[in-house]
Chains A and B, each alone.
Chain A
Amino acid sequence: MSKTTQITELNSNPNVVLFLCRWCSGKGADLAGTSRLHYPTNVLPIMVNCSSRIDPQHVVEAFLEGADGVLITGCHFGDCHYKTGNYKTFRRMALLSRLLKQVGVNPKRFRITWISATEGAKFAKITTEMVEDLKKLPPYGKNGKGGDS
C-alpha cells in the first residue's frame, strides 16, 4: 500500500499524521493504549527512531498527500536516546513553521510537542486537542492542493 492511500484511507475528518519517536513518545502512545485512555482515531502514527529523523520534506509531503495536520512528538529535552536529536528537531521545526505560515498554512495544522514514556495521558490529551482544533478548520489537503476549492 502506498503512502498516499494510507493517509486518505483514514478517511476521517480531519486526518492527522503523527510522527512518534521509538523511545519516549512512542512508548507514551503505547501507555495511552495499555491504560485504555481514549484518543481520536484520526491520527496516523508513523514511528521513526528519533524525531530528528523527520525532515521538513516529510512534513510537507504529508500535507500534500492528504493530511489536514501534522503532529511531531519526541522525547523531552535531555531525555533523547541519541542525546541531542530532539534539540535538532526543535530548531528545524521552528524555521519550518515560519515558512509554512508564510505560504498560508494555519499554524494550528502543525504542532510539535515532547512526550515521555510515562505521559500516556498527555499523549491522549494532545492528540484530542489537536483533532478538536482541526475540526473547526475546513479540510486541507484532500484536493491535492491547499485550500477548499
Chain B
Amino acid sequence: MMKKINLAIALGATCAGCDVAILDLNEKILEVFDLVEFKFWPTAMDFKLDDLKKLKDKEVDVGIYHGAIRTTEDAKIAKILRQKSKVVVAFGACANFGGIPSLANMPFEQDMFDLVYKDVPSMDNPENTVPLTSVKINDVELTLPGILENADALEEVIDVDYFVPGCPPMVPLIEQVVEVLKLYANTGKLPPKGSVIAGTKTLCEECGRTKPEKISFKEFISPQEVDEMDPDLCLLPQGILCLGPATRAGCDGLCTKMNVGCRGCLGPTDKVKDHGLKMISALTSLLEVEIEEEMTEEELDKIVDKIPDPLGTFYRFTYGKSLIYKLHSEEELI
C-alpha cells in the first residue's frame, strides 16, 4: 500500500469556485480521497488556520492555493502554506495572474475605499462608516485584516512551484493534477519546477470550429446581437470577440463550443509576456482586412469604440501579471 499524500488547500481573495471545480471531478473525487490525506481545506471540511499552523514545516506534500493576494490575511496564509508545504501549486486564474480581483488595481479617479463605501449611487452612508483594521468596544480590541494596496498573483508573495490556470481550472486540467499526484505518491517524482499544467499551444489549436483560410470581420458584436449564428464557423469572422488566438489551450474549447467567445481565463502561452497586447495585435490585424485600404479614421474609431472597456476585455484575468499593469500611473489620469 502506497503512502498517502498530505494535501492542503488554502484560499485567498477568491469566489471559492476553484473548490467547487475540484468537487466537479464527480466520481473521480473518490480516487482523490484514496490518494490524499487532507491536512487543510477550510471550504469543504472543518479546518481552522491553527490546524495548518500546528503542522511541522514541510509536513504537507502538496499545498494548493487559490485566490489572489488582496488582504494582509491572504499574504499571511500564503506564507504559512509555503512554510508547511514541500511544493506549492497556484490554482486558478487569481492565484496565477491576479485574476478578476486584480482589475481593482487599475487606476481609479479616486480612492477605491471612498468609491465603494461613500460614492457609489446605491450607498447610503451618512456617517461615513468604513471598515477599520481595529476597533475598541468595551476595552476589547477587535481586529480585521488590512487591505493591501494592490491585489497580486501568488507568485508576488511566495515561491510557486506549479501553475494550474483557468477560471476555474477545468475538469480535464484537474484530472491532470490528480495524475501528477498519483505519480508522486507512487514514485516520488514530480514535473520540473515552474511547469504549467495545461496546454502548450493556443486555444485555436484545439477549438473544433472551422477556420476559413482568410479571417476578416467588420465589427465587434456581442453574441446576443447576432441574428443567426453559424454553429461550426470560427467566431472571429462572425464578429464575436474571442481571445482564443492568444490564450493557452487546455479547456477543450468549453466556451467556444457554446457559441461564446473565449475570455482568456487560461492566460497567455509560455512565450508571451503580455496576454492583452498580443490579442490586440492579432485582433486588429484581422479587422476589415478585405477593405482596409478604404477605411477612414472615423470609421476605425467607430469600430474600435464598440469595445467600451479594452482593459477589462483583454485583461479580464491577467491584469495583475501584465506589462501594462506596471505602466499604470495615477498621476496622469485624465
Please tell me if B19 contacts chain A, counting CB pairs below 8 Å.
Answer: no
- For A90, the chain B residues whose CB sits under 8 A away are 300
Contact indicator A95/B293 (Cβ below 8 Å): no
Q: When A57-B273, A77-B293 are in contact, do A91 and B287 touch as well, CB less than 8 Å?
A: yes
Contact indicator B331/A88 (Cβ below 8 Å): no
B74 → chain A closest CB, angstroms: 23
Identify the interface centre among B106, B277, B314, B329: most chain A CB within 10 Å of its CB. B329
- For A105, the chain B residues whose CB sits under 8 A away are 327, 329, 332
* A1-9, A27-35, A40-48, A59-67 - the one binding chain B: A59-67
Interface residues of A in 126-147 (CB under 8 A from B): 137-138, 140, 144-147
Chain A interface category by residue count = 35 or more
- For B3, the chain A residues whose CB sits under 8 A away are none
- For A39, the chain B residues whose CB sits under 8 A away are none
The digit string for A80-105, where 1 denotes a CB below 8 A from any CB of B, is 00001001101110111011111111
Please measure, in the bound complex, the distance between the C-alpha atom of A60 and the C-alpha atom of B309, giving whole angstroms.
Answer: 18
Task: Point out the residue from B278, B300, B329 that lies within 8 Å of A146, measured CB to CB.
Answer: B329
Contact indicator A95/B331 (Cβ below 8 Å): no
Contact indicator A61/B295 (Cβ below 8 Å): no
Please measure, in the bound complex, the distance between the C-alpha atom of A57 and the C-alpha atom of B300, giving whole angstroms.
Answer: 21
Interface residues of B in 209-261 (CB under 8 A from A): none
Contact indicator B323/A87 (Cβ below 8 Å): no
Overall SS of chain B's interface: helix
Contact indicator A145/B307 (Cβ below 8 Å): no
Please tell me if B132 contacts chain A, counting CB pairs below 8 Å.
Answer: no
A13 → chain B closest CB, angstroms: 17
Please measure, in the bound complex, the distance between the C-alpha atom of A33 and the C-alpha atom of B293, giving whole angstroms.
Answer: 31
Nearest B-chain residue to A101, judged by Cβ: B334
- For B278, the chain A residues whose CB sits under 8 A away are 55-57
Contact indicator B327/A95 (Cβ below 8 Å): no
Please tell me if B53 contacts chain A, counting CB pairs below 8 Å.
Answer: no
- For B301, the chain A residues whose CB sits under 8 A away are 94
Please measure, in the bound complex, the distance between the C-alpha atom of A63 and the C-alpha atom of B277, giving whole angstroms.
Answer: 14
Please measure, in the bound complex, the distance between the C-alpha atom of A104 and the C-alpha atom of B108, giving whole angstroms.
Answer: 9
Nearest A-chain residue to B106, judged by Cβ: A103
Task: Point out the residue from B293, B304, B328 that lies within 8 Å of A98, measured CB to CB.
Answer: B304
Question: What are 19 pairs between A and B in contact, CB < 8 Å?
Answer: A56-B281, A57-B277, A60-B327, A61-B323, A64-B327, A77-B293, A91-B288, A92-B280, A95-B310, A100-B324, A102-B311, A103-B106, A104-B329, A104-B330, A104-B333, A105-B329, A140-B332, A146-B329, A147-B330
Residues on A lying within 8 angstroms of B by beta carbon are 55-57, 60-61, 63-64, 77-78, 84, 87-88, 90-92, 94-96, 98-107, 137-138, 140, 144-149
Known: A57-B281, A87-B293, A107-B334. 5 other contacts (CB 8 A): A56-B281, A57-B273, A61-B323, A94-B284, A105-B329
